[in-house]
Amino acid sequence: MIIDTHAHLDFPEYKTDLESVLLRAREAGIGSIINVGTSLATSKKCIALAHRFENIYVSVGIHPHDASRVSEQTWHELELLLGESKIVAIGETGLDYYRNKSPHEAQQALFEKHLALAKKHNLPVIIHCRDASDDCLKILNKYKNGALKGVVHCFSGTKETAKECLDMGLFLSFAGPITFKNAQNLREVAKTVPVERLLLETDCPFLAPHPKRGERNEPSYLSFVIPVFAEIYGLSPDDIVRITSFNAYTLFGIGEPVPEGEIAYAIRNSLYINLTNRCSMECSFCMRTSYPIVKGHNLHLKREPATEEVLGAIGDPGRYDEIVFCGYGEPTERLDVLKAVAADLKSKGKRIRLDTNGHGDLINGRSIANELKGLIDTICISLNAETAEKYTAICKPVFGEKAYPAMLQFIKDAKKVIPNVQVSVVEIPDIDIEKCRKIAMDLGVDFRIRKYNVLG
């Protein structure tokens, strides 16, 4: 389900038809909505709405526009609201030097108060920053250590500002303007934000997306925004929904946790098969034990699935362009299951790829390339380093010094029987990419560079 992380449904624009707005939201697949307070009065209205509607959650805060009008009493009352249920964030707060409705000093002081309050209650902050990036970052830097977590909503800054926010652990969200025809720059900025840090929002009633630009915005209009993000990230709309909902769950604790142990999981038009979490390496960049989440899928297996379970999880493979044996673990640890599943899929005419660390021979105690002939169309082997020493240091193979030469031998054997063979390296500073490229060229196989921390 889609999560709209920033709405103002308590505003007068919805006075007469809120129920129909919420019905349209549900029909468009919106699961939960965070209604964001901009003053003490609207924060109270947000709470009242959350009591009325099950899928509405609340953020309480005072907008920087009103900073000069916040008395001690108002702030005290706002703090008292935190005792209410369904409050998932503090804000919106921040700095707005575009409208300049309150003096900068008053805005900064109020922003700091919100950040301190959020930390005290271990809640995320919803940050509004307009034409004030430098001061915003300066203040956020003061609070970044410890429990600062939050989102810069309706992000409109530069790539550099985005990076600083990301480095602090913040999420970013973009509203309707990301869809505007003249917003190419903003889309370029969004491209630099890992999808794992992206949230969806409308900021309704403001900022309606194309083709509703200029009209009153509403949560169901996220259906115009999601395809644009799919395009930006080269993912499917389903991927965007799943990942951003997982992100909202991570930050605000709303929605559903992703189920553990996905055996077959879709990303774009490919279906990935997760046979095992066992692996004969412990690569320094691998997150399989610490954080086994890939594009909103939880790959931690409680137990390894049998062939029938795998085929059951795949179901009808018709709609996928390619089936990939991958997951967080080494597929050739389960060679028999891999072969049986691949044979079934091949009989249905599917294109099949195997992502492997190339230790299949060592794991199974025999040369296995021939056994994959006719079953696998493309094989992608992790080369990972230009020398055996570096490989052993970075990947810590359980087979020790034997691993690197065995992996190279496997590449040569695979080349004889598999139509497409490629090797990959992860872009980390220790690796000499050009030397790795030369090894691939000498072996006569394709070469692929994978970005550090980008999975799936």
Residues in the site for ligand SF4, rule: CB under 6 A?
279, 281-283, 286, 288, 328-330, 357, 382
Pick between residue 179 and residue 274 the one whose CB is nearest to Zn ion: 179
CB of 63 to ligand SF4, least distance (A): 45
Contact pattern for Zn ion over residues 198 through 227, marking x by CB under 5 A: -----x------------------------
Stretch that binds Zn ion, among 133-141, 195-203, 229-237, 394-402 (CB under 5 A): 195-203
Instruction: State the binding partner of 286 from Zn ion, ligand SF4, none, CB within 5 to 8 A by kind.
Output: ligand SF4
Pick between residue 88 and residue 286 the one whose CB is nearest to ligand SF4: 286
* CA 232/CA 191 separation, integer angstroms: 6
Pick between residue 187 and residue 300 the one whose CB is nearest to ligand SF4: 300
CB of 207 to Zn ion, least distance (A): 9
User: Helices 72-81 and 40-52, interaxial angle, to 10°?
Assistant: 20
Instruction: State the binding partner of 164 from ligand SF4, Zn ion, none, CB within 5 to 8 A by kind.
Output: none
Pick between residue 206 and residue 447 the one whose CB is nearest to Zn ion: 206
CB of 384 to ligand SF4, least distance (A): 8
Stretch that binds Zn ion, among 94-102, 196-204, 240-248, 312-320 (CB under 5 A): 196-204
Instruction: State the binding partner of 357 from Zn ion, ligand SF4, none, CB within 5 to 8 A by kind.
Output: ligand SF4
CB of 204 to Zn ion, least distance (A): 9
Instruction: State the binding partner of 288 from Zn ion, ligand SF4, none, CB within 5 to 8 A by kind.
Output: ligand SF4
The string over 382-397, giving b where at least 16 C-beta atoms fall within 10 Å of a residue's C-beta and e elsewhere, is bbbbbebebbbebbeb
CB of 117 to Zn ion, least distance (A): 18
Instruction: State the binding partner of 328 from Zn ion, ligand SF4, none, CB within 5 to 8 A by kind.
Output: ligand SF4
Instruction: State the binding partner of 361 from ligand SF4, Zn ion, none, CB within 5 to 8 A by kind.
Output: none
Pick between residue 203 and residue 361 the one whose CB is nearest to Zn ion: 203
Pick between residue 90 and residue 431 the one whose CB is nearest to ligand SF4: 431
Pick between residue 101 and residue 288 the one whose CB is nearest to ligand SF4: 288
First to last CA, the chain: 21
Q: Which two tokens stand for residue 421?
A: 């063979």
Pick between residue 345 and residue 380 the one whose CB is nearest to ligand SF4: 380
Instruction: State the binding partner of 381 from Zn ion, ligand SF4, none, CB within 5 to 8 A by kind.
Output: none
Instruction: State the binding partner of 119 from ligand SF4, Zn ion, none, CB within 5 to 8 A by kind.
Output: none
Q: Which residue is nearest to Zn ion (CB)?
A: 203
Residue labelled with tokens 């409050």:
87
CB of 252 to Zn ion, least distance (A): 15
CB of 195 to ligand SF4, least distance (A): 20
Choose among 451, 454, 369: nearest CA to 418: 369
Instruction: State the binding partner of 423 from ligand SF4, Zn ion, none, CB within 5 to 8 A by kind.
Output: none
Instruction: State the binding partner of 320 from ligand SF4, Zn ion, none, CB within 5 to 8 A by kind.
Output: none
CB atoms within 10 A of CB 44: 18
Tell me the site size for Zn ion, rule CB under 5 A: 1
Pick between residue 196 and residue 203 the one whose CB is nearest to Zn ion: 203
CA distances from 126 to 7, 94, 154, 208 (A): 12, 8, 10, 20
Q: Going by DSSP bridges, is the β-strand pair 270-273/264-267 parallel, antiparallel, or unpaired?
A: antiparallel
Pick between residue 10 and residue 203 the one whose CB is nearest to Zn ion: 203
Task: Point out which residues bind Zn ion (CB under 5 A).
Answer: 203
